[in-house]
């Protein structure tokens, strides 16, 4: 809107005040650059997914502009630490913006089906002509290489949308937010006036009556975006989300798609209370008796990092 307004003012000056003839050209150029940057460059598909640009924005707002575009009391805006409204629970505590006690008493999180979330992330972050398959492969590479293998969560290292939901609610497997609500249950909870719900009253009041203002119309149902390759990649990226929040690994109405099993084990060497048999939990993906690729997923070892090793099981 501002670019359009600037263009019209420049045209007015050009037509009625010819003695200021250089000014309209500068204004048109300024309006053009503003339009290009706000419409194409400073957007999530470009700015957020390209690390150099993301870090430049953090330096600009956090250091050159002295953090004046952020409020650490309300955790909004951007500073040198990143995008405050996208902080994980661990980062908010590590930066000293909240204490662990405040987090456990006053916070809540809304989660959703990881498959549906991946489609929503695609619609928000996709580049021109980018397919869902290409998008998921790109996010999978970033998630596995930076979060799962290196444990990186800071904005300078990884785009916040890549992270699993449990990174925002848990620290080393421990839930630190007070309340977790599934998005799929929210409308029912509000419609029934939170009947038989243990959600704190203050959170009930905050969520009641809020419109769904950012809904995006899709050309097809989220289930129809998936292929066998993409379901495998999303399940590997967000295996913890499926487990912690109790989401079904099957995609509704897509029975032809099989999902990989997830094998979980704790670090037995550091836990004398468990036998190998007690520590192993297996979820079998298909009842068809077919060979399934499965993932050996180790909880925090002595380096407090996740270990992923793909194995074959019959």
Q: Is residue 131 part of a domain?
A: yes
Q: Write down the pLDDT at residue 159.
A: 95
Burial class from Cβ neighbours inside 10 Å (0-12, 13-18, 19+) for residue 19 reads exposed
CB neighbours of residue 246 within 10 Å: 9
Domains held by the chain: number: 3
Give yes or no: residues 146 and 217 share one domain.
yes
Residues 127 and 196 in one domain: yes
Residue 218: inside a domain, yes or no?
A: yes
Integer CA distances (angstroms), 225 to 118, 129, 220, 312, in order: 10, 15, 8, 27
Task: Examine the domain organization and report whether 102 and 126 are in the same domain.
Answer: yes
User: Which two structure tokens, joined as six digits, stand for 9?
Assistant: 């003012």
Whether 135 and 213 map to the same domain: the answer is yes
Asked if the structure places residue 59 within a domain, the reply is no
203 and 243 housed in the same domain: yes
Residue 246's nearest CA partner among 196, 195, 181, 293 is 181
Give me the half-sphere count of Cα atoms (radius 13 Å) on the Cβ side of residue 310: 7
Specify the pLDDT at position 41: 78
pLDDT at 40: 76
Measure the CA–CA gap between 113 and 249, rounded to whole angstroms.
9
Residue 60 maps to a domain: no
Q: Helix, strand, or coil here: 169?
A: helix
Quick: pLDDT tens for 280-313: 333 333 333 343 344 433 333 334 334 333 333 3
Task: Say if 88 falls within a structural domain.
Answer: no
**Is 295 domain-assigned?**
yes
Residue identified by tokens 């809020």 is: 210
Find where tokens 């996208």 sit.
86
pLDDT of residue 27: 87
Reduce the DSSP state of residue 165 to 3 states and report it. Answer: coil
Residue 94 tokens, joined: 């590590």
Whether residues 16 and 153 share a domain: the answer is no
Q: Is residue 272 part of a domain?
A: yes
CB 165 within 8 A of CB 111: yes
The pLDDT value recorded for residue 261 is 62
Dihedral in degrees, nearest 10, Cα atoms 221, 241, 307, 178 = 150
Taking the C-alpha atoms of residue 140 and residue 162, their distance in angstroms, rounded to an integer, is: 8
Task: Provide the domain limits for residue 219.
Answer: 98-247
Read off the pTM.
Answer: 0.76
User: Do 102 and 243 belong to one domain?
Assistant: yes
For the chain, the C-alpha Rg in angstroms (whole number) is 24
The strand pair at 179-182 and 281-283 is best described as: unpaired
C-alpha dihedral, 179 to 184 to 185 to 191, nearest 10°: 130
From 247, 281, 305, give the residue that closes a domain.
247
pLDDT attached to residue 276: 39
Let me know if residue 217 belongs to a domain. Answer: yes
Q: Where are the beta strands (DSSP E) in the chain?
A: 70-71, 76-79, 82-83, 108-111, 170-171, 174-175, 179-182, 261-265, 281-283, 292-298, 307-313
* Residues ≥6 apart with Cβ < 8 Å to 116: 222
Residues 141, 236: Cα–Cα separation, whole Å: 11
Looking at the structure, tell me whether residues 229 and 268 fall in a common domain: no
Does 215 lie in the same domain as 103? yes
Co-location of 152 and 222 in the same domain: yes
Q: What is the pLDDT along the chain (314 residues), one digit of tens a residue?
A: 788 888 888 888 888 887 777 888 888 888 888 887 777 777 888 888 999 999 998 999 898 888 888 999 989 999 999 999 999 999 999 999 999 999 999 999 999 999 999 999 999 999 989 999 999 999 999 999 999 999 999 999 999 999 999 999 999 999 999 999 999 999 899 999 999 899 999 999 989 888 766 666 778 899 999 999 999 999 999 999 999 999 999 999 999 998 866 544 333 333 343 343 333 333 333 333 343 344 433 333 334 334 333 333 32
> Quick one: pLDDT at residue 31?
87
Per DSSP, 162 falls in state G
User: Is the same domain home to 230 and 281?
Assistant: no
The two structure tokens encoding residue 137: 């492969």
Same domain? For 206 and 291 the reply is: no
Q: Pull the structure tokens for residue 267.
A: 């670090």
């Amino acid at each position: 809107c501002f670019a359009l307004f600037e263009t019209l003012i420049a045209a007015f000056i050009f037509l009625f005040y010819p003695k200021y003839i250089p000014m309209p050209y500068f204004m048109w150029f300024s309006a053009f650059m503003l339009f290009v940057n706000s419409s194409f460059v400073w957007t999530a598909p470009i700015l957020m997914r390209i690390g150099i640009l993301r870090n430049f924005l953090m330096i600009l707002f956090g250091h050159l502009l002295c953090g004046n575009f952020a409020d650490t009391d309300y955790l909004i805006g951007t500073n040198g630490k990143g995008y405050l409204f996208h902080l994980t629970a661990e980062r908010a505590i590590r930066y000293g913006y909240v204490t662990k006690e405040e987090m456990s008493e006053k916070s809540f999180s809304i989660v959703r089906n990881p498959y549906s979330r991946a489609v929503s992330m695609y619609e928000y972050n996709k580049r021109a002509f980018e397919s869902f398959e290409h998008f998921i492969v790109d996010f999978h590479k970033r998630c596995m290489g930076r979060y799962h293998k290196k444990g990186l969560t800071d904005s300078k290292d990884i785009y916040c949308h890549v992270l699993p939901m449990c990174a925002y609610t848990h620290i080393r497997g421990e839930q630190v937010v007070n309340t977790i609500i599934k998005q799929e249950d929210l409308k029912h909870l509000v419609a029934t006036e939170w009947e038989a719900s243990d959600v704190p009253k203050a959170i009930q009041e905050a969520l009641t009556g809020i419109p769904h203002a950012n809904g995006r119309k899709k050309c097809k149902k989220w289930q129809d975006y998936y292929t066998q390759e993409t379901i495998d990649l999303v399940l590997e990226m967000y295996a913890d989300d499926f487990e912690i929040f109790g989401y079904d690994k099957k995609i509704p109405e897509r029975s032809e798609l099989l999902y990989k099993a997830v094998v979980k084990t704790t670090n037995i060497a550091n836990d004398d209370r468990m036998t190998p048999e007690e520590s192993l939990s297996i979820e079998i993906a298909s009842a068809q008796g077919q060979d399934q690729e499965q993932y050996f997923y180790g909880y925090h070892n002595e380096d407090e990092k996740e270990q992923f090793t793909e194995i074959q099981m019959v």
